[in-house]
Chains A and B, each alone.
Chain A
Amino acid sequence: MDLTYTPEQQAFRAEARAWLEAHVPTATLEHFDATREGFEAHRAWEKTLKSGDWGMLTWPVEYGGRGLDLIQWLIFEEEYYRAGAPGRVNQNGIFLLGPTLIEYGTHAQKQRFLPSMASGKEIWAQAWSEPQAGSDLAGVRATCVADGEDYILNGHKIWSSRAVFADWAFGLFRTPGTERHKGMSLIFFPLDAPGVTVNAIKKINGHVGFAEIFLENVRVPAFNRLGDEGQGWHICMATAGFERGLMLRSPARYQVAAAKLAALWQAHKETADPALEADVVRAHMNAEAYALNIYQTASRLMAGAKIGPEASTNKIFWSELDIHLTQTALSILGPVAELTQDAPDANPVDWIDDHIFALAGPIYAGSNEIQRNIIAERMLGLPR
């Protein structure tokens, strides 16, 4: 165990810092879920990232990545959040679908989909949940029927993040007559294909971050199926591991928030409730603990381990620490906390928006109740 960075890693950090300082937009971009303009501004940022070869660090070079290791990725993420760079609009693709495609896709599929994902040319939405199948994903009813070299897709997907403005979606579909985990396939479809209708759903912050998707006899080539027919559930669970684990929520995001919280506390401690200092320290501890856990996981993965059900512990930890952190900020701010950014007296850091977003954490990527069941059953061995 050696918790010091090598000279190469330090040089890499310096390189990332210099590039980000020169390229991160000085003006805050409009949120990618708020408007089409905000979405396109973020797409342009993805192209800028790609132009500097900072788009996808851990992917193989031949598919648009840079072939770096997970520790380098963590260092880049630290610099990325430190620089206040924009949120990644194509995160569904690059952090969830990308790693899954690299593991399960054919060479032709990787060539077709990965480079355009890495550059932001094609931005992906997730189409897993259905009105009757949220956490119980095995209950999806949308169907895929083979028709020559094609599939015909039918069904109703919901809570699809980014789908309002995105270009492509990946979804779970079942062969008619199959039940539960069996007979499901993971299939890609363009969101502008004939027969696809996307209706925006506003989130509690007013953004159109969700959509429901209706599919009516949508025809896609069999080439768009990832893995074998009927293997969709298995592949989906691998993707969910990425989603719950280290790829979606890199620790730097919370460490930057914890540092901002410490600054907020120091600016208000003369007037705020003194008991809140313990919460500020706790937020810092939690962010550090999350970072250490991820560094430990990254080291293990680099030594050849596979990610397992412990990804579910991550999801619970980051979602709970996020709420605690933003809630502490609101307590420090007092009556100013409820003001939105267009209010003249609003705090410069949009803590209320961060808090509202944090509230979704225990729900998405598999509710925390489901994660606790997974931990109990797969880590601890309790009966179903």
Chain B
Amino acid sequence: MDFTLSDEQMMFAETARTLFADSCTPDHWRKMMEAGAAHDDARWASIVETGLSLMLLPESAGGIDLSEIDFTLIAQEAGYVALPEPLVESAGVAAPMLAALAPGHAALADPLATIAIAHPINPFVANADSAAAILLEKEGEAYLVTPDQVTLTAQASIDPFRRLFRVEWDAANATPLGKADWDLALDRAALFNAAMGLGLAQRAVDLAVDYAKERQQFGKPIGSYQAVKHHLASAQVAIEFARPVVMAAAAEIGHRDMQARARVSHAKIVALEAADKAARASIQVHGAMGYSWEVDAHLFLKRALALSRNWGTPAFHRARIAQRLFTQPNGPEQTFARESKNA
């Protein structure tokens, strides 16, 4: 039993943090917004060069075969900067699924390429237009298409960096890949979105802390007032008690059992609740400025709003926790226990 991260894991996260801090600032987003872009080629190239997009791929598919724990730390950093590019959906979910089905596929050969995934739990597909390939589901089987083989209808999102599409397709024009593990894809997506939620939450708190130290009212920084402190302290408490759940889910996801699924669902619910709570506190602390387009807090709120309801709503995930709670033994000695047979 050891709930600490290794030095290597912390170093990898540090590398991602530095890369994102340099290349994904609010200035970068704002230039992208003005240009109507959701993807920065130079930034994506440096992400790929650092190996972040290859972490979960097996060596047979040109990857570096790291674990979900490692990628969770990277997703957390991506959330901290509200990364526009589809690192989580492509490198965390879609590419590993494709690699499991067809490790030699051409779409995996180009390291810069992204892969989109049309999971049955989501009505819209993110970044379908810019993907080299799209994974689609029909009766549990996976199919692969290129964007020009399907009809894409763009759906504007409140988050300017989420490019969503309704995808209409015909199995006759798609490459069948056989039975795929859509449950694993869902669990990975829920876990990594939870990790992004932690990052979103911490950034929202940090933005508000910086502002509350500077902004003066009644002759004092507003951060010296207890009411302001308590908003931010409460958000930090939510983060501190979501983080170990996310890390435990990352450590347990590989068991593929009911306990692991419940843990992932728990992580998804509480990390994105923390993100929502922190973003709303951040906007409140910023006052009217917080409600303006100019202050960055709204982007973290919008991403949290979107991610909370994608890859399974809170009700969906709560039902998975209830499934564990009401059908498995529970109590203190069961925290890390695994049920005898996989449900």
Contact = CB atoms under 8 A, between A and B. Distances in A.
A71 B3 CA distance: 10
B241 A3 contact: no
Contacts of B243: 293, 296
Given A292-B248, A313-B240, A381-B213, A79 B3 contact: no
Nearest to B241: A289
A223 interface: no
B236 interface: yes
B69 interface: yes
Contact of B241 (A71, A317, A381, A382): A317
A51 interface: no
A298 B236 CA distance: 20
A285 B228 CA distance: 28
Interface stretch (A59-67, A148-156, A210-218, A368-376): A368-376
B325 A375 contact: no
Contacts of A262: 325-326, 330
Interface string B191-214: 000000000000001000100110
B2 interface: yes
Contacts of A303: 4
A373 B228 CA distance: 10
28 contacts: A3-B3, A3-B248, A3-B251, A3-B336, A5-B1, A9-B1, A79-B333, A81-B332, A277-B322, A281-B322, A284-B321, A293-B241, A296-B4, A296-B244, A296-B247, A303-B4, A313-B237, A313-B241, A317-B237, A369-B230, A372-B226, A372-B229, A372-B233, A375-B237, A379-B233, A381-B209, A383-B220, A383-B223
**Size range of the chain B interface in the assembly:** 35 or more
B272 to A, nearest CB: 13
B331 A255 contact: yes
A376 B285 CA distance: 13
Given A2-B1, A313-B237, A256 B331 contact: yes
Contacts of B4: 1, 296, 299-300, 303
B209 A380 contact: yes
A82 interface: yes
Contact of A382 (B224, B234, B325): B224
Given A255-B335, A293-B240, A317-B241, A376 B1 contact: no
Nearest to A377: B229
Contact of B332 (A82, A289, A296, A317): A82
A282 B214 CA distance: 37
A119 to B, nearest CB: 26
Given A82-B333, A284-B325, A292-B335, A1 B229 contact: no
A28 interface: no
Contacts of B251: 1-3
Given A295-B3, A376-B223, A251 B332 contact: yes
A176 B330 CA distance: 55
A369 B226 CA distance: 9
A1 B326 contact: no
B242 interface: yes
Interface string B224-267: 10101110111011001111110110111000000000000010
Interface of B, helix, strand, loop or mixed by DSSP: helix
Contact of B245 (A252, A292, A310, A377): A292
Contact of B237 (A78, A252, A258, A316): A316
A146 B8 CA distance: 55
A108 to B, nearest CB: 36
A317 B245 CA distance: 14
A383 B331 CA distance: 42
A376 B240 CA distance: 13
B97 to A, nearest CB: 24
Contacts of B318: 278, 281
Contacts of A278: 318
B336 A285 contact: no
Contact of B232 (A4, A77, A281, A380): A380
Listed residue (A79, A258, A299, A380) with the most chain B CB atoms within 10 angstroms of its CB:
A380
Contacts of A379: 233, 236
A381 B321 CA distance: 36
Given A281-B321, A289-B266, A382-B221, 20 more contacts: A1-B5, A1-B250, A3-B252, A9-B1, A71-B1, A82-B331, A252-B332, A285-B269, A289-B244, A293-B244, A296-B244, A298-B3, A299-B1, A313-B237, A369-B226, A373-B226, A375-B229, A376-B223, A382-B229, A383-B224
B283 interface: no
Contacts of A289: 241-242, 244-245, 266, 270
Contacts of B325: 262, 280-281, 284
A254 to B, nearest CB: 9
A349 B261 CA distance: 31
A291 interface: yes
B274 to A, nearest CB: 11
A263 to B, nearest CB: 9
Nearest to A316: B237
Contact of A285 (B209, B224, B266, B335): B266
Nearest to B220: A383
Interface string B1-23: 11111100100000000000000
